Amino acid sequence: MQAICLEQVSLWRRTQEEFSYDLKKTILSILEGKYHKPIKKLVLDRVDLTIAAGEKVGIIGVNGSGKSTLLKVICGIFQPTKGQVKVWGKIAPMIELEAGFDPELTIWDNIILYGVMLGFSQKEMQQRINSILAFAELEEYVSIPLKALSSGMVARLGFAIATDVEPDILILDEVLAVGDERFKNKCKQRLKNFWDANATVLLVSHDLNLVEQFCDRVIWLDRGKIKYIGSAYEAIDYYRDMVNLTVSLR
Amino acid sequence: MVFKRQGEVVRVSQTSIFQNANLVRYLELLQVLVSRNLKVRYRGSFLGIYWSLLNPLLMTAAYTTLFGMAFLRYYDNSLVKYMLEVFVGLVVINFFSASTSQALTSVVCNGGLLNKIRLPVNVFPLSMIAANVFQFVCGSLPFLVIAALVTSESLINVLALIVPLLSLVCFCAGVGLIVSALFVFFRDLPYFYELVVTLIWFSSPIFYPIDIVPANIRPFLALNPLISIIGSIRQIALSGELPDISLIGTSLLTSCVVLAVGCKLFYNWRSQFMDLL
């Protein structure tokens, strides 16, 4: 059974230089006749990909090769310019977990807010709240504003909420290692449970050993294109050769 | 079940039982965002909502003291009438300027979030409008209802109040959608928008009678949709007469047009947001 299917997915994005646009400059540049349409760059180039349910897939590639962009397209955050993305099941994105929090709100309110943003109902979240707090070990902080917590505690809370659900598809951008040593082990144990259960996992990492150890299949992205897709061992071997080659050429 | 969105991304969900799961989710999201907004604003004190009445009350007192006597003959020589009309005008214009200015920054402020989780973008400006509606309903609405009851002694006027207020909300939602989308592209927009709000403020007859505006300029004032809304609310709540259907109709029609334009523009520009957030 399929979990994710991408057909000829291409994505064009505006380049970074266009980010600080303002009305004054635009009007003046039109008046001076210097206005030009924003330049766009191809960040994903005709990506074809089918991932079966339960498969563990690693994504490797140098910085800026489109790994995170690919994950965001799969999550539905970016709309592809061309092509089609199909996803079966519930996705738990675990990309920088603190994004959904509001520092002024209490822990309780934050858990509800975050959960609803992830797609759960308020009722469901109220039922989950105790197990989330227990995992994050923050029971005595329920009614305290989030800003009073240390950054490690916030990260723990984020991890606890995102993983309290049983997602069909788990998306990991860089490995999550939050909190102190003891909590890291707890996180690893929980991720391992997902691994053992039949969740589909997408893992982006620069830690090739980790990818090789945990993934069945590896995708190597290079400048927005799939350069190689195959068994973890082959792909990583090929990738290492190429990286070493470019290094020795310099 | 298959949800098709923008023709490109297909999400096949096995978990949702309800056909309208998307709508339910949207409303839940709107609800938590509004409650976040109000909680952050009032820090748990319910009386904080009444703090928002301080501005129109103080301003009404100031205008009445400064201009009340000068404009008295336009208001049947009644200072109370002038005061009430100013207060109603201020409440409406304050709702407009607060809700749309807060909506303006809402999409950009949540840009980080939109880059992490797939969310319907328009929920952010609309939640700002909704939070202000809640505040309005608790703060100013009781006053309008009492005024309508006392002057007209008829429930019809109280019920009819809903229509121009709904127009006001639609108008603000439309403007909020437009400015929040524009702010994604033009980050110096707050400066210009403040100018626009000030212009709308002065072109609305809030503390002056519309009769003092030269007759050849008056048609231009009709371009400001808030005038018909303020006019309609004043007519229903303060005149004591039966609701004027043509005033209600004008305000409802213009605000529906503004809302439709806002939705359309927001939807058209939405695909470019993610490149700039």
Query: What is the distance between the alpha carbons of residues A30 and A247, in angstroms, rounded to a whole number?
Result: 46
Confidence class for position A20, pLDDT limits 50, 70, 90: low
Tell me which of A167-171, B37-41, B163-167, B231-235 is least confident: A167-171
Chain A positions touching B276 (Cβ under 8 A) are 14, 18-19, 21
3-state helix, strand, coil in chain A (%, to 5): 45, 25, 30
φ/ψ of A62, rounded to 5, equals: -70, 170
For the segment B24-44, what is each residue's pLDDT rounded down to a tens digit?
889 999 999 999 988 888 776
Would you list the domain boundaries of chain A?
Answer: 2-90+205-249
Torsion angle, CA of A173/A175/A181/A182, rounded to 10 degrees? 80
Contact A105 B39 (CB under 8 A): yes
Task: Write the residue in A87, A93, A122 that is nearest to B117 by C-beta.
Answer: A93
What pLDDT is stored for residue A181 in this prediction?
78
In angstroms, the separation between the Cα of residue A215 and the nearest Cα of chain B is 24
Query: What is the distance between the alpha carbons of residues B194 and B172, in angstroms, rounded to a whole number?
Result: 15
Chain A positions touching B267 (Cβ under 8 A) are none
For the segment B135-158, what is each residue's pLDDT rounded down to a tens digit?
999 889 999 999 999 988 888 889
For the segment B88-118, what is each residue's pLDDT rounded down to a tens digit?
999 999 999 999 999 999 999 998 888 888 8
Q: Testing the interface with B: which of A117, A165, A176 to mutate, by most B Cβ within 10 A?
A: A117
In angstroms, the separation between the Cα of residue B26 and the nearest Cα of chain A is 9
3-state secondary structure B3-30: EEECCCEEEECCCCCCCCHHHHHHHHHH
pLDDT at A178 over 70: no
In angstroms, the separation between the Cα of residue A231 and the nearest Cα of chain B is 27
- Chain B residue with CA closest to A86: the answer is B10
Chain A positions touching B9 (Cβ under 8 A) are 76, 79-80, 84-85, 87
CATH class name, domain A2-90+205-249: alpha beta
Cβ-contact A176, A210 below 8 angstroms: no
Q: How many CB atoms lie within 10 A of CB B24?
A: 12
> Which ipTM value was assigned to this complex?
0.84
Task: Write the residue in B24, B35, B118 that is nearest to A75 by C-beta.
Answer: B118
Q: Which residues of A8-39 are buried (b: 16+ CB within 10 A; e: fewer)?
A: ebbbebbeeeeeebebeeeeeeeeeeeeeeee
pTM: 0.87
Cβ-contact B234, B228 below 8 angstroms: no
In angstroms, the separation between the Cα of residue A55 and the nearest Cα of chain B is 18
Percentage of residues in chain A having pLDDT higher than 70: 92
DSSP annotation of A95 reads S
Contact B118 A77 (CB under 8 A): yes
Closest Cα to residue A180, out of A130, A114, A134, A136?
A: A136
Cβ-contact A107, A142 below 8 angstroms: yes
C-alpha distances (whole Å) from B153 to each of B137, B156, B160, B197, B202 are 21, 9, 13, 35, 33
What pLDDT is stored for residue B9 in this prediction?
54
Residues of chain A contacting B, Cβ within 8 Å: 13-14, 18-24, 26, 72, 75-80, 83-90, 93, 95-96, 99-100, 102, 104-105, 109, 112-113, 116-119, 121-122, 168
Query: What is the distance between the alpha carbons of residues B72 and A147, in angstroms, rounded to a whole number?
Result: 53
- Chain A residue with CA closest to B41: the answer is A104
Instruction: List beta partners, residue A122.
Output: none
Element (H, E) at A9: strand A2-14
Q: Please measure the distance between the N-terminal and C-terminal CA atoms of chain A and give it in whole angstroms.
A: 45
Task: Write the residue in A76, A105, A113 that is nearest to B118 by C-beta.
Answer: A76
What pLDDT is stored for residue B168 in this prediction?
96
